[in-house]
Structures are given as structure tokens and as C-alpha cells.
Chains A and B, each alone.
Chain A
Amino acid sequence: MFATGGYGRVYRITSNAVVGTGDGFAIPYRRGIPLEDMEFVQFHPTGLWRLGILVSEAARGEGGVLRNKDGERFMERYAPTIKDLAPRDVISRAMYTEIREGRGIQGPDGTYYLLLDLTHLGAEVINKKLPEITGFARIYLGVDPLREPIPVQPTTHYAMGGIPTNVDAEVVIDDKGTKIEGFYAAGEVACVSVHGANRLGTNSLLDIIVFGRRGGKKMAEYIKERDFPPLPKDADEWTRKTVEKILNSNGKERVSRIRKELQDVMMDKVSVFRTGESIKEAIEKIKELKERYNEIKIDDKGKKFNTDLIEAIELGNLLDTAEAIAYSALNRTESRGAHYREDYPKRDDQNWLKHTLIYKNGEKEPVIKYKPVVITKIPPMERKY
């Protein structure tokens, strides 16, 4: 079972851990297993500025509000009824719009942020109900939320897409539900698609508690009747070759440089707002970076706890995951949930009420297929706030 988490580190600003390098996405993708709905990347509106550390919705749930550089509570303009409690994609877009239109606040490094204002909540609410959040602001930004607002910006938070599975965490590779026998995935790396195009807060627990458990039970049943299959002779060949190639590579490219350029282009071109044009730029850049990835050189050639080597392998995974995200996003010429195409701002159920399945195609352009959306109790409808 792959339970390897998300790929937030494809982007410059993320709430995800440094280990969120998309390994669990890239590995099956390279072996011909499709990835589902990779264009749906959730950005959480309130990451700590520059760091991306998550300030949870609880802060706004308790009455915190977002403000621009004029002190205006700008969400009143974008979502007049529910304001600061609008869905994550709506608020993230509003924040990007505020910054684009010159109402963001510029930090000394030239990047922009907005303000999450908790100062009116009082010490009791803040210290009792939001201790972790306020602790983060104090430790990482040196900001005391009791007295001053917290600088925030949208942060890459969650992968709605991933390895396609059924409700028992069994990996299914096409629109007919064909299973890859013995292969399971659960958690963020999997796409059962309970979240559709846009996960709701706390629902990621379903991936773990519900589908992780169902998958575990299914696996236990499955192995009861079976023995280990024979391993192919060359099972370790790819890994050995990859490790050897990286250790012996004598190019001039640094892993950290390529990684940073990838994170920058994904953040600037394939994030909260996208256009066909911007995604194509990102794809060209990813191609260039993949070329350069063949020319890397690492400093640590040792065999013991070699994190230099691990980071180089992870970069390969980041590049393949970014490819899957970018091509899926280019292909979907509509806006739905977290995927917002400025050149196609409307949802288009006629043509796009379907899941994307992206298949790697060697060094050529990936192949995209689809599978139908299962609609149960609540049909999709336009969101109005």
C-alpha cells in the first residue's frame, strides 16, 4: 500500500513537510499507472507569509478577518454573505486579486502578503482556543496576534488527485475499474475522489480513517489466500541504476537550483490562477529542467545517511509529478473547484463533468483519458456566496 502523502514541495510556498516530494505519485506514474485529477491542487488561503505554515480555518471560524493594505475587510466584496468563511479556492483567488490590483503589502524581500486580523478577539479567545496558531505566528514571524495582524499568503496544501483507487483502496487504472492486483493506495497520495475538485476542511481524515482502514481490511483478506509472487530478476535494476548514475554523475547542475526553479515556475504559472499560456510556459520549463536534471552533480558520494543523494532522487519525482499536474491542468479547459483557468472561467458540465486520467508516455507528451463522475445524492450546482 502506498500511503506516502502529498506533493506540496512541487511549489515554492506549501504547508507540506519537506518530504512531500511526490514520490508516491511519480513512481507508479513512471510504471504506466495513471494519475487521476492531478489538475486539482488545493491552495489554503492562510499560510504564514514566506513560510507557508498553515494557520487553520479555526482562526477565521472564531471571528478572525482578512484585511488588505488599506485595512479593508476585502472578503465582503468577493463573498458578501459568508465573507471570510468562503471556500478555500474563493478566498485564495480573492487574495491573489487583491495583490494583483495593488492592495497587498510588500515585504522587504519584494513578495506580497495580506493580513489575518485576530486583534479584536481578545486574549481569552486567542490563548484558549487558538494557542497553536498564535504560537506559530509568535515563533516564526515574531508577530504577537493579540496586538498585530498576521502576514499571510495562500499556501499549497492538498492534492485532490492521485493514484486512482476504489473505495477499498485498490488501485484501478481505467474507466472500467480494472484493478492492479495487490496494489493499494490510501491517504493523500490516493484519489478515491471523495473530495472531487476541492476538498472541504477536515475531510482529509476520510482518506486515513475510512479508506485507509477499508484498504487495510481488504489487504488482510487478500493475502490470506496468497503466497508471495516470484520477483522479476531485475526488480532492483532501476533503483540501482538511478543511484549509481546520480553518484557518478559529474555534471554542473545543482539539485537545489533545479528544485528552486521548478518550485518558482509552478507557483507563478500553475497555482491559484492558471491560463493555457502560463501552463505552457511551465511545461517548457519542466522540459528544460528535466534535461538539466541529467547533468546534476552531488557533493556527497557516501553510502551512509546520504541526504544529498535522497534529495537528488526526490527531485526526479518532483519533476515527474509537476509534469502530471501541468499537463492535466492544460488539458482541462474549464474552471472547477480548485482548478481555475482565467481563459475558461466557467464550469462546463457539458464537456468536463469527468475525471482526468493522465498516463506517462516516455519522454513524449503524456496521454490523457477520462472516467465518468459518479453522482450520488447531491448533483453539482453553481456555488454562490
Chain B
Amino acid sequence: MKVTFRIFRYNPETDSKPYYKDYEVEADPKDRVVDVLHYIKNEIDGTLTFRRSCLHGICGSDGMRINGKNMLACSILLQDLGYSDKDKTYKKPIVVEPLPGMPIIKDLVTDFTDFWKKYEAVKPYLITKTPPPERERLQRPEDAELLMEASKCILCACCTTSCPSTWSNDNYLGPAALLKAYRFIFDTRDEATDERLDIIDTPDGIWRCHTIFHCVQACPKEINITWHISQLKKKLVEREI
């Protein structure tokens, strides 16, 4: 089938402002969006710039906006976007844009500096105060279960950049960082719970989440991020009482 990819282009070295460029390509409904991007870069226009690495939804580097929704270019087939062999040519293009609300470095590549700053802010590592035991710090399977879903996060930023609270407030920690905070606050081996709760218990921290659920819709790993954030809110309220 023939489809048109309408791709957001911007090269700060040569373009005064961004524009959209159409590429008409022959594609298979079972092709992934990233396969077509590779085809365009390899065969038509080597200047097209995007991040990608593992190509199976583990590295989190090819988050982008595809037909208006944040997703991973490697984890979406054209047929899942509604394109099938039944129509030989599509009038409706597939629109590919960078993740919204982030500075653009070039084409589909965005600047993650602020995203990582907020990630760092929640101290995304185990903190312990007791001396290390002879062997590793153990956990019961049911305690590990509490972290299972949150641990699937690949830090692709699809959630944070889909969140209206993030768009309206530059200082908001955002869902990805809060999910990471959950992952350590609910870890039975971690010994910095109070310190961690203090970090998120601010107007620009967890209370900026208005339960809009965009993050849940955007997450390519199907993590119920809003539920995790609500558990943190409950924990904070319990601490107050």
C-alpha cells in the first residue's frame, strides 16, 4: 500500500522555523513506524534525524507523537494505526512529530535535560542506612510484587510529555519522576521513605497531579501510572494523620 508520512522537520543550523515534509512510501501494514522512518532515512533523505536503539520497546529512545498520540515508533504497526492493504493509497497521512512540550534539538529529537533533572530529583536509587548484610538485601515475593508494574518503566517520557499539568507548569515533577518515587518509597529495602516523601510533598510535586489519566493512555508499557501516584497521595495523607 502507499502511505504518506508527514514528518516534522527542523534543523536549527539551516531552518528559521520548523515545517512538515511529506514522504510518500510503499509500506506493508505489518511494518512498524520506525521501519518506515528507517526506510526514509536510508533510501530517500539521510538528513532525517530521530533516536532509536533496541527497536523492541526496552530502551525507550524512540518516543514520539504519531497521529497525535505519544508512543514508541518501534512498538506500533501501521495496521494498528488503521492502515490496511484494503486501500491501495491513503489520503490521510501518518503524522510524525517530536514529543510535545520539550525543546527540540533537531527533527524528532528532543532535549531530555529537564526530564532527567526531575528524575534525579526523586533520587532514583536505593538508599540504605543500616550496614549491608553478608549477602544481598532480601525481599518477600509479595513485597517485590508491589514494585513489578512500576519497574517496567523505560523512561521514554511519553507520559510526562502528554500531561497537561506538565505543559502548564515547568516545575512540575511529572508522572515519570513520580512513578520512580513510588518504586523506591514502596520498596521494603529502602530506608529513606520520609526523605523521599518530603521531596514529592510540594505544590510542584505530587499535588500538581490532577488525575487526568493522559499518562496512563500514553504509557507504551501499559503501566497504570495514575494509580501509583494515588498510592503516594494516600501515603502522604496517612503520614499527616
CB contacts (< 8 Å) of A3 on chain B: these are none
When C-beta atoms are compared, the residue in chain A nearest to B12 turns out to be A304
Stretch at the interface among A135-143, A214-222, A223-231, A324-332: A135-143
CB contacts (< 8 Å) of A17 on chain B: these are 53-55, 59
CB contacts (< 8 Å) of A53 on chain B: these are 55-56
- Known contacts A299-B45, A299-B47, A305-B105, A142 near B77 by CB under 8 Å: yes
Q: Are A307 and B42 in contact (CB under 8 A)?
A: no
Interface, chain A (partner B; CB < 8 A): 17-19, 51, 53, 136, 139-142, 254-256, 298-300, 302-308
Q: Are A142 and B56 in contact (CB under 8 A)?
A: no
Q: Could you tell me the distance in whole angstroms from the C-beta of A14 to the nearest C-beta in chain B? A: 10
Q: Are B11 and A304 in contact (CB under 8 A)?
A: yes
Q: Are B46 and A299 in contact (CB under 8 A)?
A: yes
A168 to B43 CA separation, bound complex (whole angstroms): 45
Interface, chain B (partner A; CB < 8 A): 11-14, 30, 32, 41-43, 45-47, 49-50, 52-57, 59, 75, 77, 79, 105-106, 109
The B contact surface, by secondary structure, is: loop
When C-beta atoms are compared, the residue in chain B nearest to A308 turns out to be B46
CB contacts (< 8 Å) of A255 on chain B: these are 46
A151 to B47 CA separation, bound complex (whole angstroms): 35
A229 to B32 CA separation, bound complex (whole angstroms): 49
CB contacts (< 8 Å) of A299 on chain B: these are 45-47
A53 to B59 CA separation, bound complex (whole angstroms): 13
CB contacts (< 8 Å) of B30 on chain A: these are 141-142
Q: Could you tell me the distance in whole angstroms from the C-beta of B62 to the nearest C-beta in chain A? A: 10
Q: Could you tell me the distance in whole angstroms from the C-beta of B93 to the nearest C-beta in chain A? A: 22
A51 to B28 CA separation, bound complex (whole angstroms): 14
Q: Are B46 and A302 in contact (CB under 8 A)?
A: no
Q: Are B77 and A298 in contact (CB under 8 A)?
A: no
The A contact surface, by secondary structure, is: loop
CB contacts (< 8 Å) of A254 on chain B: these are 42-43, 46
When C-beta atoms are compared, the residue in chain A nearest to B56 turns out to be A53
Q: Are A142 and B11 in contact (CB under 8 A)?
A: no
Q: Are A18 and B42 in contact (CB under 8 A)?
A: no
Which of B52, B55, B105 is within 8 Å of A304, CB to CB? B105
When C-beta atoms are compared, the residue in chain A nearest to B39 turns out to be A256
CB contacts (< 8 Å) of B56 on chain A: these are 51, 53, 136, 140
Q: Are A304 and B54 in contact (CB under 8 A)?
A: no
Q: Could you tell me the distance in whole angstroms from the C-beta of A9 to the nearest C-beta in chain B? A: 11
CB contacts (< 8 Å) of A304 on chain B: these are 11-13, 105-106
Q: Are A305 and B109 in contact (CB under 8 A)?
A: yes
Q: Could you tell me the distance in whole angstroms from the C-beta of A257 to the nearest C-beta in chain B? A: 8
Q: Are B11 and A302 in contact (CB under 8 A)?
A: yes
CB contacts (< 8 Å) of B52 on chain A: these are 18
When C-beta atoms are compared, the residue in chain A nearest to B53 turns out to be A17
CB contacts (< 8 Å) of A256 on chain B: these are 41-43
Q: Are A300 and B46 in contact (CB under 8 A)?
A: yes
When C-beta atoms are compared, the residue in chain A nearest to B54 turns out to be A17
When C-beta atoms are compared, the residue in chain A nearest to B50 turns out to be A307
CB contacts (< 8 Å) of A141 on chain B: these are 30
8 additional A-B pairs beyond A51-B56, A305-B105, beta carbons within 8 Å, are A17-B53, A18-B53, A136-B56, A140-B32, A140-B75, A142-B30, A305-B109, A307-B41
A-B residue pairs, 5 tightest by C-beta: A299-B46, A256-B42, A308-B46, A300-B47, A17-B54
Q: Are A298 and B54 in contact (CB under 8 A)?
A: no
- Known contacts A18-B52, A53-B55, A308-B47, A302 near B75 by CB under 8 Å: no
CB contacts (< 8 Å) of B54 on chain A: these are 17-18
Q: Are B49 and A300 in contact (CB under 8 A)?
A: yes
A305 to B112 CA separation, bound complex (whole angstroms): 14
Q: Could you tell me the distance in whole angstroms from the C-beta of B12 to the nearest C-beta in chain A? A: 6
A51 to B35 CA separation, bound complex (whole angstroms): 10
Q: Could you tell me the distance in whole angstroms from the C-beta of A271 to the nearest C-beta in chain B? A: 20
A91 to B54 CA separation, bound complex (whole angstroms): 25
A307 to B46 CA separation, bound complex (whole angstroms): 8
Q: Could you tell me the distance in whole angstroms from the C-beta of B50 to the nearest C-beta in chain A? A: 8
A-B contacts, 23 of them at CB < 8 A, read: A17-B55, A18-B53, A18-B55, A19-B53, A53-B56, A139-B75, A139-B77, A140-B75, A140-B77, A141-B30, A142-B77, A256-B43, A298-B46, A299-B45, A300-B49, A303-B13, A304-B11, A305-B105, A305-B109, A306-B49, A307-B49, A308-B41, A308-B47
Max chain B C-beta neighbours (<10 A), residue from A136, A139, A141, A255: A139
CB contacts (< 8 Å) of A303 on chain B: these are 13
A18 to B53 CA separation, bound complex (whole angstroms): 5
Q: Could you tell me the distance in whole angstroms from the C-beta of B45 to the nearest C-beta in chain A? A: 6
CB contacts (< 8 Å) of A140 on chain B: these are 32, 56, 75, 77
A17 to B54 CA separation, bound complex (whole angstroms): 4
Q: Could you tell me the distance in whole angstroms from the C-beta of B85 to the nearest C-beta in chain A? A: 11
Q: Could you tell me the distance in whole angstroms from the C-beta of B11 to the nearest C-beta in chain A? A: 6
CB contacts (< 8 Å) of B12 on chain A: these are 304
When C-beta atoms are compared, the residue in chain A nearest to B109 turns out to be A305
Q: Could you tell me the distance in whole angstroms from the C-beta of B3 to the nearest C-beta in chain A? A: 17
- Known contacts A142-B77, A254-B42, A256-B43, A302 near B13 by CB under 8 Å: yes
CB contacts (< 8 Å) of A142 on chain B: these are 30, 77, 79
